[in-house]
Structure 1
Amino acid sequence: MTDMDPLVPVLAGLVVDTVWFLDSCEDDEVDPDSAVKMMESVAGVLQRLPEDQLDRFLRALTDLAATEPDPHRREFLESFPGACGLVDDEG
């Protein structure tokens, strides 16, 4: 989207990739309790964003998913808002 600061998609991608790493790493790579705490912390921060900033973040995720060649990362990008409680998954 043309009104979006180019830094927004970069940072959105980094947030998603960090959570993806924590979600997919083995127990011997990162302590599972620490990983869960960090993922909950990230979700909590994102949930507290003002509505306009959250909308920008969600648009960035949609744009990233639309152009993502890796089907696994694309699927994670698409599921990220619902998994973090950023959108209502009902209906």
Structure 2
Amino acid sequence: MPVYSSLAHALAAALVDVLWFIEGSEDEQMDPDDAVKVLEGVGHLVIKLSSDQQSELIGLLRTMATAESDPERREFLEGFPEGFGLLGDAV
């Protein structure tokens, strides 16, 4: 089990794990409507973070992407900020 540099890093990793699972789930594993609700809920939550918190999350995601050995998961991590509305006027 990895050792994280901060609670924020551990929570970001847990969030990514859940979202990675949801993104990769087949319809038989998870209802698509429920998946969309969860993803939209996370998107809403992260855009409500302060600019400093958003910047911290983006930095953590970049650190995680750099350390990721699975190319598909690395791509997911790299696309997370844009996919969840963190890149825009607020950041």
Same fold (TM over 0.5): yes
RMSD: 1.1
Question: How does 1:4-83 map onto structure 2 within 5 Å?
Answer: 6-83=6-83
Identity rate of aligned residues, in percent?
Answer: 42
Name stretches of at least 5 consecutive residues in structure 1 with no aligned partner: none
Distance in 1, matches of 2:11 and 2:71, equals: 20
Moved over 6 A (4+): none
Deviation of 1:28 after TM superposition, in Å, equals 0.9
Name stretches of at least 5 consecutive residues in structure 2 with no aligned partner: none
Q: TM-score, normalised by structure 2?
A: 0.86
Q: Which amino acid aligns with 1:78?
A: E
Deviation of 1:26 after TM superposition, in Å, equals 0.7
Deviation of 1:69 after TM superposition, in Å, equals 1.3
Aligned residues: 84
SS of structure 2 residue aligned to 1:41: helix
Deviation of 1:74 after TM superposition, in Å, equals 0.8
Deviation of 1:77 after TM superposition, in Å, equals 0.3
Distance in 1, matches of 2:79 and 2:14, equals: 15
Q: Which amino acid aligns with 2:74?
A: R
Q: TM-score, normalised by structure 1?
A: 0.86
Distance in 1, matches of 2:8 and 2:69, equals: 20
Deviation of 1:76 after TM superposition, in Å, equals 0.6
